[in-house]
Structure 1
């Protein structure tokens, strides 16, 4: 079966020079999606935390219906392939989850292996769930499996690799060991044939260096949204004039 949008998005991850990984900015609303697309990026990847902030929620608190509606607006505005960060899937059964994602027009999704309480999911059960999602999507989605071992305090690359291999066997199309340190990228990349997604905060090495270390896909989480919000806060202070209070902390 041919799925032109997902097939094109998948192809963007492969055949790349090591120092030119796929860079996917993270739009948080329709306007930012249009700005990134107009700048020439071939695809985008929404950050759940950035979208949550734009909707007035803390990360992890967005109702599923609001998240899917926000993703649909981003897809409509972008005009390029969009992958959606869907946290751990909002408790939806795999077939329903896939149907909801496809309704938005997104061609990919991130699914993390932490449960809603923040604890790591059982890797075998999570691999089974990923296999069901991949089967339900039947090639219509690029499924990017986020691996949360580093995020949850286990800094041994062997722990991430064990999950990466299980998820690869389940049929996912990419893996995302979030917060893996740059020095671990070579061993993580060597452990899988799949594209490795790397989170690049402002303090990360340059994109080309991350690519040479093994990253094939670069995303930024909510970092770009927070930079934009910082600019808005600065503008607000200028408008308010001397003696204006510091802005409230972001959600």
Structure 2
């Protein structure tokens, strides 16, 4: 299952589509071997693999990363395209055109500017950007599932009413999936799901804002991603193991580690 139409259908099941976020080819293949039906890139997870912070990876490197994740498995892949690597609607549309050429089944565009002094695009401009992305997505041969993200809650603007207003406008502008990362609780998630008709995606793994698949399903969620949480967990284990070596001179971490052959089995090798 690799087409955008197949990916879109995965959002129409009775329960949420859990779509984890690998950060390299190996993690993508492991997740595929565990039975997940689709994958998504993570801008932060990818940045960690380059030794950088989120948002610090050049667009051409992001493009290479997307090609690698798409080519790693036969699963549909949705890309974290950040703010479309452009302020203008025309630039965002060009990003959709360019990245769709990697074989992606979809991707997300957020209304975050990346500028601390003005972190969120003005409402009208944000809607124009999504509309341009949706128009270009509709021209992609084979289709492209566009996710529109309202980033208020990740940028110090915990305004649920404005978030819903933006998601509703993004839906009207042609987005296929709606996403407001960082919603504080199940009541907020439930409210968002009730106020739109397109599938709602949420990101789990944010400390203090993590709920079970069953809880999210009951709230009306149709897609669950993990953002950088899996990459964070992997790097946390690496740091703990290295600190054990430095601090105590022991290697007990290796006792619980999988053998190399077991890991290679998960790669499909």
**TM-score normalised per structure 2:** 0.84
Q: Assess if the C-alpha contact under 8 Å between 1:33 and 1:74 holds in 2.
A: yes
Q: CA deviation at 1:13?
A: 0.4
Q: CA deviation at 1:22?
A: 0.7
State which of 192, 195, 218 in structure 2 corresponds to 1:191. 195
Separation (CA, whole Å) in 2 of partners of 1:84 and 1:38: 20
Q: Find the counterpart in structure 2 of residue 106 from structure 1.
A: 104
Q: Is 2:179 the partner of 1:176? A: yes
Structure 2 gaps, min length 5: 251-269
Q: CA deviation at 1:229?
A: 0.9
- TM-superposition CA deviations, 1:72-98 (whole Å, max 9, x none): 101100220000001101117234212
Q: Find the counterpart in structure 2 of residue 247 from structure 1.
A: none
Separation (CA, whole Å) in 2 of partners of 1:211 and 1:153: 27
Q: CA deviation at 1:236?
A: 2.3
State which of 215, 220, 225 in structure 1 corresponds to 2:226. 220
SS at match of 1:143: strand
SS at match of 1:52: helix
Aligned length: 238
Aligned runs of 1:1-251 on 2, under 5 Å? 5-16=3-14, 20-91=15-86, 93-118=91-116, 119-138=119-138, 140-181=143-184, 182-201=186-205, 203=208, 204-240=210-246, 242=248
CA RMSD between the two structures = 1.7
Q: Assess if the C-alpha contact under 8 Å between 1:94 and 1:136 holds in 2.
A: no
Separation (CA, whole Å) in 1 of partners of 2:92 and 2:191: 31
Cα distance change on mapping 1:189 and 1:239 into 2, 3 Å:
same
Q: Assess if the C-alpha contact under 8 Å between 2:85 and 2:92 holds in 1.
A: no
SS at match of 2:224: strand
Structure 1 gaps, min length 5: 245-251
SS at match of 1:93: helix
Q: Assess if the C-alpha contact under 8 Å between 1:44 and 1:82 holds in 2.
A: yes
Higher-RCO chain (CA-CA 8 Å, sequence separation at least 6): 1
Q: Assess if the C-alpha contact under 8 Å between 1:120 and 1:149 holds in 2.
A: yes
